[in-house]
Structure 1
Amino acid sequence: QEPFVEDNPYTSDPVLPSLLKRILPPQTLKEVEPDLVRFGQDVITKPLTEIRAAGDTVAPPKLTQYDQWGKRIDHLQTSEGWKFLKATAQAEGIPGIFYERKYGEDSRPYGFAKALLMVGDSHEVFCPLSMTDGTARVIQLMGTPGMKKHIFSRLISRDPSHAFVSGQWMTERPGGSDVSRTETSAQYLSKSNRFGPFYYLDGFKWFSSATDSDIAVALARTGSPKDGSRSLSLFLVPLRLPFPRDPSDPVPSPTSNGILVHRLKNKIGTHALPTAELSLERTEGGAS
């Protein structure tokens, strides 16, 4: 049987080119369309990027909780294919395009269109990169000067060796998506670091995607549980200390910041994406 021959996912799409023609200014479309055509061709053919070939090496993550001496290490190993696809998306400008703002408000549809071309071969790397986008926007709007200086630029970087990925930790056992029942507490330490006011977080996060990320934004309670969602605050949590570190340095265990990875979730889909149950024990976090 003859294999199905795929065309460029941009030029052969029956809707996308005409949709962009309708919503983008003519000059913007003229400038971004060659990049979309080029990237669409890269996805299916270019041997140097090997996006499709990388998918064959994607495998579920593995968690090693203890070393040979019985020390808790919580070492999380993700596949080379997963790392490659995530790095490729970052290098192509996801989420960097959104914040470079070369085309103003039209940077969003341009970036989303570019992500769409790869999404079928992405093995869900756009899940953590979308959370990274959300964290970048939060810091852009409400972050401290230190967060904006030292973290924001790395969340939107096109250099995979320099770029940060962010998770989002909201879900807990009592409430699920009802964040008003959040149990994780935050204790103010009456001091600050270069990122802002300093807190200790204690609690349990039931469903935390992007467990291999560099940072996360986490909900925690600073007031009485009787106040529901009104006593919740959002904190920036580094997964490993020291933070930030030189990319050439060894990767510390999340236990370095009081984060224990209890188990990886066995999901129906998104197998390559590490999603875990985490406990936070005097975990350092910053707020604005």
Structure 2
Amino acid sequence: MDAIDYAWYDQGRYCNYWELDRTLRRELERVSPEGEFEWAEPRLQEFGGVVGETVADNADHADKHGPTLHTYDREGNVQNYVEYPATLEETERLAYEAGVVADAFEAPPEREEPLSHTHYFGMLYLLSYAETSGFVCPAAMTAGAAHVLELFDDGDLDPYYEALTSRDHDSLIEGAMFLTEKQGGSDVGANETVAEYDEESDCWRLTGEKWFCSNIDAEGTLALARTPDAPAGTDGLSMFLVPHGDPDGGVLTNRKRNEFDGNPPPEALNDQRYRRLKDKLGTTNVPTGEVEFDGTKAHLVGQQEQGFKQMAEMLNLERLSNATGACGIIGRALLESKIHAANREAFGQPIGEFPLMKADLVDMAVDHEAATAFTFEAARYFSEREQARRDGETAETTNRMMRLLTPVAKLRTARMAIDTASYAMEIRGGDGYVEEYVTERLLRDAQVLPIWEGTENVLSLDVLRALDREAAHEPFAVVVQDHLDSVEHPSLADAAETVESEYHDLLGAMADLAGRDEEYAQLKAKRLAHYIFDVFAGALLLAQAQRELDEGNGRLALVARRFVANELESRDARGITDGERFAVEQFDAIVRFAPVSPDELAESGNQLLQTCCRVNRLGLLRL
């Protein structure tokens, strides 16, 4: 496959994101169940074009003309009407009817079984190239609500599940999660919303306040509340589905909403009040607001006092959706930077020809590769666990790996998305800071990613729980060692040795923290989470590089070596004196996806080896 000439493009739209993102294509082919990638690729190809051609423009318009809340009608009655721009409605129709949610839950046309969740994450990734966190949030919550009903509903809520997973936009409803309360935040157990059963109406009624409610007028909203006599803390919480419409009237699908003359009248709506929308830094095209429940009708999901467990299951999917969206933002920011660097001239040549810019683009590309590989490996474990569950089987080892990798993926990729989007603004210069260019929106939208679905501190503590309660370090150690054992090519030997050394140090750190007091373990939890990412991503990239070398391409070997050098190696004088010219010499391979023969890689490896001998990198490479 030829190298990509980014000078051919003048901006990162009016193009096909699927065709341009060879990293995503490689990862989906790697993690998809046998035969699925070949079947799904034409759908991904088509969707990549739709996102690049239409959704990208719609997203910019919706960002500037976002939803508007009209809480009251002209008579002063609560109507909870959210007015959306037509461009956002078009994006919704295009995405949902392309199967962004439905494909993972219901068999697409001409197929007997649903596609895997890895396909869902791939579609969401492509959508994130244009919609970043705005519409991706409702789509992810729709998938999350469907996931909860699939796992825990006994059939009573089938009409809601069918509407959440519909590929017909008129028959669709969207999902939402009203979990955050003003006094609680991440302390979910401090939830004060109460639920009481109304015998006369034969339904549950919720009373309380939810403080940060995205996709506020969704019909498939999930909320946590405490039933009478339930214990305090998370053990006493139950999960409820709280419709936008009066549940006595059935599921309020898009078609039903449109059948009214204007917005649905107050008598067609559930008893709640959307108080106001938040004025947010980014994600302005998803309505996020405050909701008051006042005897609001609700359906119990599953059993009472199981709400926190159900929420945890939903968070696994949502956190991976967050990480997938972060990788999409990184990909779009990188694409914009590559195109600008190939076209913008300064001092008589494109700025992409200058050594410093080459180094920046190389390292941005390597970060993108690492983030995407790690995230889709975590997504693979999630997908395989869900397939096993659908088949009535258990997948304990897979579950333990998913539990460890998921919070790490969300934690690291969210921060990487912010850093990459910020630097993409800098590459464009002053134009990158103004609204006419997409980079400022990428940064505004990326900034929410470390907050949604758990902050970095919350996720770091979740990593400790996965290690302590589920002994996730045991399968983790086996998987990393298997990756390293698969590496045979001489050009990867030094990087593999570095990763193996760090891997053993990481296992030692895990064992050390297991013997420490809780305060100390929490103090070091964030460093541990990042260490897990670096070691696992390094081993994973090396194993993938070996497979590509076996197929005759050494490009990913260069990526793996650069990632290990950046994240796991120590260098004298911070590498300033080591004579290394990697970014200049390997720019076309890393940034433009130019193929690299194994013979070329061996030659570059010998040159690197000679450099390492001269500078003696603190003994990390035992020469």
Q: Does 1:157 align with 2:166?
A: yes
Letter paired with 1:76: V
Q: Give, in whole Å, the separation in 1 of the partners of 2:173 and 2:78.
A: 25
The superposition leaves residues 167-215 of structure 1 with CA deviations (integer Å, 9 ceiling, x where unpaired) of 111110111121101000000123676xxxx211000001111013113
TM-score normalised by the chain length of structure 1: 0.87
Q: Give, in whole Å, the separation in 2 of the partners of 1:203 and 1:167.
A: 17
Residue of 224, 235, 246 corresponding to 2:240: 235
Higher helix share: 2
Q: Does 1:212 align with 2:217?
A: yes
Q: Does 1:84 align with 2:96?
A: no
Superposition RMSD on alpha carbons, in Å? 2.5
* Cα separation, partners in 2 of 1:23 and 1:72, compared to 1, 3 Å: closer
Q: Give, in whole Å, the separation in 2 of the partners of 1:120 and 1:73.
A: 34
Secondary structure of the 1:281 match is strand
Residue of 65, 71, 88 corresponding to 2:71: 65
Q: Does 1:172 align with 2:176?
A: no
Q: Which structure 1 residue ranges, 5 or more long, are not aligned?
A: none
Deviating more after overlay: 103-112 vs 259-268: 103-112
The superposition leaves residues 113-161 of structure 1 with CA deviations (integer Å, 9 ceiling, x where unpaired) of 122222122252121111111111111121132212x111111011011
The superposition leaves residues 222-246 of structure 1 with CA deviations (integer Å, 9 ceiling, x where unpaired) of 1457621111100111111233246
**What corresponds to 1:117 in structure 2?**
126
Whether contact under 8 Å (1:57, 1:80) holds in the other structure is no
Deviating more after overlay: 177-186 vs 242-251: 242-251
* Cα separation, partners in 2 of 1:32 and 1:135, compared to 1, 3 Å: same
Residue of 222, 243, 266 corresponding to 2:227: 222
* Cα separation, partners in 2 of 1:113 and 1:164, compared to 1, 3 Å: same
How far is the alpha carbon of 1:5 from its aligned partner? 6.4
Deviating more after overlay: 150-159 vs 222-231: 222-231
Instruction: Write the mapping of 1:129-208 to structure 2, written as runs, cut at 5 A.
Output: 129-148=139-158, 150-190=159-199, 198-208=203-213
Q: Give, in whole Å, the separation in 1 of the partners of 2:209 and 2:50.
A: 42
Deviating more after overlay: 58-67 vs 89-98: 58-67
Overall identity of the aligned pairs, in %: 29
* Cα separation, partners in 2 of 1:22 and 1:145, compared to 1, 3 Å: closer
**What corresponds to 1:96 in structure 2?**
102
* Cα separation, partners in 2 of 1:253 and 1:69, compared to 1, 3 Å: closer
Higher strand share: 1
Q: Give, in whole Å, the separation in 2 of the partners of 1:152 and 1:97.
A: 14
Letter paired with 1:110: H
Q: Does 1:51 align with 2:90?
A: no
Q: Give, in whole Å, the separation in 1 of the partners of 2:149 and 2:238.
A: 14
Greater relative CO, 1 or 2 (CA 8 Å, sep 6+): 1
Deviating more after overlay: 130-139 vs 115-124: 115-124
How far is the alpha carbon of 1:281 from its aligned partner? 0.4
Whether contact under 8 Å (1:202, 1:280) holds in the other structure is yes
Letter paired with 2:277: L
Secondary structure of the 1:161 match is helix
Secondary structure of the 1:167 match is strand
Letter paired with 1:282: G
Q: Does 1:244 align with 2:254?
A: no
**What corresponds to 1:284 in structure 2?**
297
* Cα separation, partners in 2 of 1:212 and 1:82, compared to 1, 3 Å: farther
TM-score normalised by the chain length of structure 2: 0.42
Secondary structure of the 2:46 match is helix
**What corresponds to 1:262 in structure 2?**
275
Letter paired with 1:244: V
- The total of aligned residue pairs comes to 279
Q: Give, in whole Å, the separation in 2 of the partners of 1:225 and 1:173.
A: 21
Q: Give, in whole Å, the separation in 1 of the partners of 2:151 and 2:78.
A: 37
Secondary structure of the 1:81 match is helix
Whether contact under 8 Å (1:218, 1:235) holds in the other structure is yes
Whether contact under 8 Å (1:184, 1:204) holds in the other structure is yes
How far is the alpha carbon of 1:99 from its aligned partner? 0.7
How far is the alpha carbon of 1:88 from its aligned partner? 1.4
How far is the alpha carbon of 1:96 from its aligned partner? 0.5
**What corresponds to 2:137 in structure 1?**
127
Q: Which structure 2 residue ranges, 5 or more long, are not aligned?
A: 1-8, 303-623
Q: Give, in whole Å, the separation in 2 of the partners of 1:236 and 1:162.
A: 18
Secondary structure of the 1:39 match is helix
Residue of 15, 18, 26 corresponding to 2:26: 18
Structure index of larger Rg: 2
Whether contact under 8 Å (1:85, 1:122) holds in the other structure is no
Q: Give, in whole Å, the separation in 1 of the partners of 2:30 and 2:60.
A: 37
The superposition leaves residues 69-122 of structure 1 with CA deviations (integer Å, 9 ceiling, x where unpaired) of 333333221211122112211111121011125586862112221222221222
Letter paired with 1:221: R
Whether contact under 8 Å (2:190, 2:233) holds in the other structure is yes
How far is the alpha carbon of 1:264 from its aligned partner? 0.5
The superposition leaves residues 26-47 of structure 1 with CA deviations (integer Å, 9 ceiling, x where unpaired) of 53222111222222223334xx
Letter paired with 1:272: N
Q: Give, in whole Å, the separation in 2 of the partners of 1:253 and 1:177.
A: 35
Whether contact under 8 Å (1:223, 1:232) holds in the other structure is no
**What corresponds to 1:3 in structure 2?**
10
